[in-house]
Chain A
Amino acid sequence: MERPLTQRIRPQADPMNLAEYEDTGGYEAARKAVQTMAPQDVQRLVTDSTLRGRGGAGFATGLKWSFVPMGLDAPRPKYLVANADEMEPGTFKDRLLLEGDPHQMVESMVVSAYAIQAEVGYIFLRSEYKRAARLLHKAIAEARSHGYLGRNLFGSDFSFDLHLHTSAGRYICGEETALLNSLEGKRAIPRSKPPYPQTAGLWGKPTVVQNVETLYNVPHIVRHGVEWYRGLGHGHEGGTKLYGVSGNVKRPGTWELPMGTTMRTILEEYAGGMCEGFSFRGLLPGGASTAFVTEEHLDLPMDFESLPRAGSRMGTGTMIVLDDRTCPVGFVRNLEHFFAQESCGWCTPCWEGLSWTERILEGLEEGRGRPEDLDLLTMHTRLIGPGRTFCALAPGAMDPLQSALKHFRADFERHIHERRCPWREQGATIGARR
């Protein structure tokens, strides 16, 4: 099984330096693109590969790039930004790539910047990824001193420089327009769209913001071609995907597998199944802002097209498992606490609605639940759902809640009837005590 994205990663060792990276074919894609291909040809390859964004939304990468103005009269400079603000609860995939193979980040930026003819790149990294910051600084410096960043790359007239920006917290910075405001030194509140960043992004200039894992795919598509790339996946969607599992499973972790590997395979073969004494009840397929799926859905492939059939989304592809010794209401309360806290406060449905949602769930957990609370929660899932806010934070927050109300309704009702959290007295799991 080929694992292009993680092939160079050596567990428990420092990542490859520039010489080692080049010995294993590194920077060949950058050289090939810049020396032998037109920018539009690189874009076409990415479009034909059907690569979709790995940050959660799954937007077609080639289509995103196609909106960038090209040609001599395009506004300049153009920017490429790597979204390395990995903060979606339960998501731990980009850290693996950044710490394991930082030169691939640099090369991915060079190739992608060439495709859209961007002159300047930023890697927007969350503050807490200290090791990644150190390694990226080193990789960027090495690349710059070898002439792989800077002016006239690979003897061409293409120039591109790359900078690392480390943030200072706040989940909302992962939203692409909030990220741009943050990079400009403002409060990170999302921008109204349109205009989209591809035409008016960083400092009003054309800008593409792309998740780390998405970018890591690009050099491999350029180097080995579309047919090879598409052949890596099962089913329609090509390539590989970083999948992860956390929760009470035997071997939590991250694995690069063919796109479209089933949830059951990932959960049972790679994560080793549930820990002794724990039974599976459901999972969030790709981070905190995806809807629960249950046992009946586990044979679905983990890809962008299949998860909607279970009323969910693939999101980031890193699953969070709910077991029978953890309270589903407490689980959702934890998520809504996160979303309420991380709301940037810009629009009312989000900052008001999320904190009320959290408060209702808190009441249920503490034995103050009333029968009408479930209708109130359901109403919230509609009123702060899609289309009512500037960005996807609040609608994303409602996905686990509405699906929990559907799949675990009896558990919510027990909280109300018994006037307590049924998991608290069992003392079976520390996680249920909050």
Chain B
Amino acid sequence: MLTDQEREEIEAELRRYPDKRAGCVEAMKVVQRHHGWVSDDSLKSLALLLGMTCEELEGVATFYNLIFRKPVGRHVILLCDSISCWIKGCDALRGHVTSRLGIAMGQTSADGRFTLLPIVCLGACDHAPVMMIDDDLHGDLTTEQIDHIVERYP
């Protein structure tokens, strides 16, 4: 089920396209903004709204790495593992973050606070190594800084 608020936001997105289907990624992102992820129920309602079959919409949903088809934590950490960050030591950072949060890449912490995911180049290579938490970009990372930054996301 979609809430009225979600429907309203989705309708606004759809107005930018001549075809409802074209708005499907934006529509799923609206759902994610409210729930963090796209559940089977949401997917079914969205498919109906967009005039797509569930299979078609699922095919799109699973193609994109930033559409989440499983629940995620309150905050999503995207740790860049592309070349410039690798040169600048992102492997060591990953080791530090996984042990500090007690989860492997792709997992969510038991308290539901963080989901940890790898991400491709974030286009901020002059500040490598970098990561994003939710909508915020953090660069020039060291293990000490990561500890401080993570504290800002309760």
With a cutoff of 8 Å between Cβ atoms, the chain A residues found around residue B90 in the complex are 431
Contact flags (1/0) for A150-190 with B, using CB distance below 8 Å? 00000000000001011111110000000000111111100
Q: A290 to B78, alpha carbons, bound, how many Å?
A: 26
With a cutoff of 8 Å between Cβ atoms, the chain A residues found around residue B92 in the complex are 430, 433
Q: A126 to B78, alpha carbons, bound, how many Å?
A: 14
Assess whether B86 is in contact with A91, with CB atoms less than 8 Å apart.
Answer: no
Q: Any chain A CB within 8 A of the CB of B125?
A: yes
With a cutoff of 8 Å between Cβ atoms, the chain A residues found around residue B132 in the complex are 128
With a cutoff of 8 Å between Cβ atoms, the chain A residues found around residue B83 in the complex are 89-90, 288, 320, 331, 334-335, 338
Q: A430 to B86, alpha carbons, bound, how many Å?
A: 9
Assess whether A318 is in contact with B91, with CB atoms less than 8 Å apart.
Answer: no
Segment among B3-11, B18-26, B98-106, B107-115 that sits at the interface with chain A: B18-26
Q: A252 to B139, alpha carbons, bound, how many Å?
A: 13
CB of B130 to closest CB in A, whole Å = 10
Q: Any chain B CB within 8 A of the CB of A146?
A: no
Assess whether A94 is in contact with B24, with CB atoms less than 8 Å apart.
Answer: no
- Residue in chain A with minimal CB distance to B93: A430
Assess whether A171 is in contact with B120, with CB atoms less than 8 Å apart.
Answer: yes
Assess whether A90 is in contact with B25, with CB atoms less than 8 Å apart.
Answer: no
A310-359: which residues lie under 8 A (CB-CB) from chain B?
A: 318, 320-323, 326, 330-331, 334-335, 337-338, 341-342, 344
Q: A88 to B122, alpha carbons, bound, how many Å?
A: 9
Q: Any chain A CB within 8 A of the CB of B124?
A: yes
Known: A91-B121, A331-B83. A165 touches B65 (CB 8 A): no
B62-92: which residues lie under 8 A (CB-CB) from chain A?
A: 63-67, 78, 81-84, 86-92
Assess whether A252 is in contact with B91, with CB atoms less than 8 Å apart.
Answer: no
CB of B81 to closest CB in A, whole Å = 8
Assess whether B87 is in contact with A89, with CB atoms less than 8 Å apart.
Answer: no
Which of B67, B120, B126 contacts A92, CB < 8 Å? B126
Segment among A217-225, A242-250, A410-418 that sits at the interface with chain B: A242-250
Q: A337 to B26, alpha carbons, bound, how many Å?
A: 28
CB of A54 to closest CB in B, whole Å = 14
Q: A130 to B78, alpha carbons, bound, how many Å?
A: 14
Number of residues of chain A lying within 8 A (CB) of chain B = 60
Q: Most B CB atoms within 10 A — which of A88, A128, A248, A252?
A: A128
Assess whether B123 is in contact with A95, with CB atoms less than 8 Å apart.
Answer: yes
Which of B64, B86, B87, B124 contacts A95, CB < 8 Å? B124
Q: Any chain A CB within 8 A of the CB of B29?
A: yes
Q: Any chain A CB within 8 A of the CB of B43?
A: no
Q: Most A CB atoms within 10 A — which of B19, B26, B84, B135?
A: B84
Assess whether A92 is in contact with B125, with CB atoms less than 8 Å apart.
Answer: yes
- Residue in chain A with minimal CB distance to B86: A334
Known: A89-B83, A90-B82, A320-B83. A252 touches B120 (CB 8 A): no
Which of A92, A165, A323, A429 contacts B124, CB < 8 Å? A92
Q: Any chain B CB within 8 A of the CB of A265?
A: no
Q: Any chain B CB within 8 A of the CB of A199?
A: no
Assess whether A252 is in contact with B125, with CB atoms less than 8 Å apart.
Answer: yes
Contact flags (1/0) for B34-66 with A, using CB distance below 8 Å? 000000000000000010100000011001111
Known: A89-B121, A128-B78. A431 touches B87 (CB 8 A): yes
Q: Any chain A CB within 8 A of the CB of B16?
A: yes
Assess whether B128 is in contact with A252, with CB atoms less than 8 Å apart.
Answer: yes
A87-119: which residues lie under 8 A (CB-CB) from chain B?
A: 87-92, 94-95
Known: A167-B25, A185-B23, A203-B18. A94 touches B88 (CB 8 A): no
- Residue in chain A with minimal CB distance to B63: A187
Q: Any chain A CB within 8 A of the CB of B146?
A: no
Assess whether B66 is in contact with A169, with CB atoms less than 8 Å apart.
Answer: yes
A244-290: which residues lie under 8 A (CB-CB) from chain B?
A: 244-248, 252-254, 288
13 new A-B pairs (CB below 8 Å) besides A128-B119, A185-B50?
Answer: A87-B120, A90-B83, A92-B123, A127-B29, A128-B122, A166-B26, A166-B29, A168-B29, A244-B125, A246-B84, A331-B86, A338-B121, A341-B120
Interface residues, chain A, CB within 8 Å of chain B? 86-92, 94-95, 126-131, 163, 165-171, 182-188, 203, 244-248, 252-254, 288, 318, 320-323, 326, 330-331, 334-335, 337-338, 341-342, 344, 429-431, 433-434
22 of the cross-chain contacts (CB-CB < 8 Å) are A90-B82, A92-B124, A126-B123, A127-B66, A128-B119, A129-B123, A165-B16, A166-B26, A168-B64, A169-B120, A170-B63, A185-B50, A188-B63, A252-B128, A254-B126, A334-B81, A338-B83, A341-B120, A344-B63, A430-B91, A430-B92, A431-B90
